[in-house]
Amino acid sequence: MCGICGFYSKNRITADQLTLMNDTMYHRGPDDAGAEIFPAKEGYCVGLAQRRLSILDLSPLGHQPMHSKDGRLSIVFNGEIYNFAELKKELSDYPFCSNCDTEVILAAYLKWGISCVHKLCGMFAIALYDRQEETLYLVRDRIGKKPLYYWEEEGNLVFASELKPIMSCPGFQRKLRTDVIARYLYHQYLCEPDSVFENVYKVRPGEIISFRLGKIHKQKYWDVKEVYQKKKGTFTGNYEEARQELFTLLKAAVQKRLVADVPVGTFLSGGFDSSLVTALAASVSGEPVKTFSIGFTEKRYNEAEYAGKYGASTDKSYVFIWNIFRKKYIIVLDNSSSYDFSPWASHVAHNLQHFLAAVFFCVYNIIHILGKAWLYQRAVCIYQIRQTACHIREVFLCGFDKLFYSIGLYIVVTIQKN
């Protein structure tokens, strides 16, 4: 996980201010940091910054912002391009100097333009500045695994992986959107492109935002519904063939995500999806796969028992538990030797995530979720929410989510009692 931020603006933002914006995301990238500002036409300046968590090519050659050899392009990038090695062979005429997937993006853009995103297989949030076209591109991966926000107002644009850098930007006013509070209480999150602030939006999954001299253009380069309509009915095999094809695809997908220059681990809950990902990772990895689980003192929330059973069934996994309520770290299962377990698994920089697997394979109880949604729908009283919002406008964002979640629960309990 890395963090990126920057701007394309006529408003004066100094290098020190950009650095401060970038450092609000220190937790996303403690290994390295970079911030640079470039002049543009018509009084504009472009700033790019990144906090780096090193996964590929741990040397200084992976420092960002990174620039193309001809000086035309500059990029900051959060994510991973799983097929970067294959693309690098296809782009052999480019004078590569690193083993970073970031440099592959630069070479791909020089050859194919912004349509190079169709060549990229991975999870990514990209900010790429083309000096020749005077254009800044913001690109988010197909499913939207990597976050990317932007503040666009009066012909200026500021972007970031999180809201905190935007909130730290000079001139930003934290005007909350009261019209999205009801939706937030109903869903417990906000769908793209909305955010909690006025004039701040999320780049949608599979979307390219291009910004040039005060003008913004948006285009979708990938849409799951269109892909489904195009490909449905193309498989003509039987059940066994479909099962084998699914296994092959899953194994290949996990293998691509194991490519790293740092130790690799998985998050293991003991459920179907995480156990499947961990088993596949163990089967294709030549080294032990460290697995991490979160434990709770409340039995109905605690999945440590299931994770422990799975860990005991393989000699390639180490299972750790972070007990949230006791505020300390304990080792539940260790098949080899003792470990000094540091906070947030800092000795394992790259964890495979399997949330989408849980969604695709219907692990979550949709009936239970719909039931909760129905309760929240009953609880949403627009008048009460607006009155409450008037008193908490100045609340700092880090407490905003918890506050409104608590308000929602309070309203639900009140309605149920009445």
- List active site positions: 2
Report how far residue 29's alpha carbon sits from residue 33's, in angstroms, rounded to the nearest whole number.
8
Residue 320 and residue 292 in contact, taking contact as beta carbons nearer than 8 Å: yes
Return the half-sphere exposure (C-beta side, CA atoms, 13 A cut-off) of residue 295.
Answer: 20
Burial of 234: CB neighbours in 10 Å, binned 0-12, 13-18, 19+? exposed
Report the b/e string of 61-93 with b at 16+ CB within 10 A.
ebbbbbbbeeeebbbbbbbbbbbbeebbeebee
Whole-number Cα distances in Å, 282 to 315, 323, 374: 9, 25, 41
Residue with structure tokens 């300390």? 328
Contact 218, 170 (CB under 8 A): no
What gap in Å lies between CA 397 and CA 163, rounded to an integer? 9
Closest CA to 316 of 353, 275, 344: 275
Return the structure tokens found at 186: 């109903």
β-bridge pairing 32-39 and 3-9: unpaired
Query: For the residues of 86-102, what is the DSSP string, one character each?
Result: HHHHHTTTS---S--HH
In angstroms, the CA 33 to CA 31 distance is: 7
Nearest to 318 by CA among 338, 339, 345, 290: 290
DSSP string covering 338-359, please? -----GGGTT--EEE--HHHHH
